[in-house]
Structure 1
């Protein structure tokens, strides 16, 4: 029997691991999954931030717990995956969101900063996806992996936004998403990406200050920055059976900014 739209979007009985989930976009994504019925494990580096975020979700009636881990470290990534699987029984949904940015002109960009950004934003996504798939998703022949990319991965930036390492990493995330989806479709593992535009967050505070929040908002056809609700719908579509025939795709959630900049 064909399911109703409410049934297709329902995540009751599902489990999710969300990295970078203690605040900002990661917490918004975790809230989306939890509000649809999923049990959530949040992760980031700082236990105090995670404790506060989990308490916030729990107050909203969401089954949320947390594990502190540094997704730039391979040993921490593997521990995070193993502890999450042990706690949840399995992982249905993996949200790779932990990330870093660095602003510097390309000619003066420190190599160590370049390595830091690529290590967390690309290598970390790969290691965690691989570990979760091998130890939870492949044997069960099901899973949804959601990678946080960015409209910065679609092309260059306006003058003054010197984030070449970040742009490069997010471009890599988009093609990582496509390649992994092609390879793991045989396991019924779907892999998709979200490309946010400008959202107020700790990571973007320098950009917002340098470029001017009002100017960036005005540049978007919809005339505003992203808010605390704007990623929730797409996240739920990718995670749920409503999106069961969608894989290897990316979608910009940016108020139309990328159609103006040509991304």
Structure 2
């Protein structure tokens, strides 16, 4: 099973942006979706002339997800890779969340991957193809977070991965990457200083966790080299919080 075309959400920044480059370098066609229109334009300009399409999508809105996949699956019926990378982290205590913000965080981080995975899997299976879904979680989903909503939704992504590995077998492998604190991302910019220091203190390997290094793990899960893996949690965390 060789994935020649892949959908990547949250493709305009951070890990998503690094993974777009990695997949293009690997010879794949990439369809990148993001809510950040200026970021998408910059991404398209950076990779002008390469097999990249960019689409504006709000993964926290069901109608937007449907419209996005309507266009993509019609234009690329042979697509067999999906990376649910888009996410929302606010870095605040649970007491500061109002109900509307709680709903938004759940919609972006959990419902979006549910909607996209269900529609994508239905298409791939109906086409009689084999493929892969890669989800992005976080160490926060395994050990908790000072942002309780973020810890909750990322635990949900891990549960979704394991369940969909069963739901979509043997047609699709479904795995999840669980990074630690990734530098040069919106999360690193928002996380409280004391939590940043705690992450760094817990890491057993030296060096920073970069978007490019996490993208390499995602690319591995999209490739034939991980052909025997489904329902797996791959940690990209410098050994933070051994568990």
Same-fold call, TM cutoff 0.5: yes
For 2:220, the equivalent position in structure 1 comes to: 237
Q: Distance in 2 between matches of 1:118 and 1:105?
A: 15
Q: Distance in 2 between matches of 1:90 and 1:78?
A: 18
Runs of 4+ with deviation above 6 angstroms: none
The answer to whether the 8 A contact 1:180-1:191 is kept is: yes
Q: Deviations over 1:43-89 (max 9, x none)?
A: 10132210111222347xx4111011111111110111121122323
Q: 1:181 aligns with which of 148, 165, 180?
A: 165
Q: Secondary structure at the match of 1:195?
A: strand
The answer to whether the 8 A contact 2:202-2:241 is kept is: no
Q: Deviations over 1:80-134 (max 9, x none)?
A: 1121122323321000011111233234432222211111100010001111122
Structure showing greater Rg: 1
Root mean square deviation, CA, Å: 2.0
The answer to whether the 8 A contact 1:149-1:194 is kept is: yes
The answer to whether the 8 A contact 1:151-1:197 is kept is: yes
Which structure 1 residue ranges, 5 or more long, are not aligned? 1-7
Q: 1:54 aligns with which of 37, 44, 63?
A: 44
For 2:51, the equivalent position in structure 1 comes to: 63
Normalising by structure 2, report the TM-score: 0.91
Q: CA deviation at 1:197?
A: 0.7
Aligned length: 242
Q: Deviations over 1:8-33 (max 9, x none)?
A: 9x75xx10110000011111122222
The answer to whether the 8 A contact 1:20-1:42 is kept is: yes
Which structure 2 residue ranges, 5 or more long, are not aligned? none
Pair 163,58 (structure 1): closer, same or farther in 2 beyond 3 Å: same
Q: Distance in 2 between matches of 1:215 and 1:113?
A: 27
Pair 93,78 (structure 1): closer, same or farther in 2 beyond 3 Å: same
For 2:62, the equivalent position in structure 1 comes to: 74
Q: 1:45 aligns with which of 35, 39, 55?
A: 35
The answer to whether the 8 A contact 1:137-1:143 is kept is: no
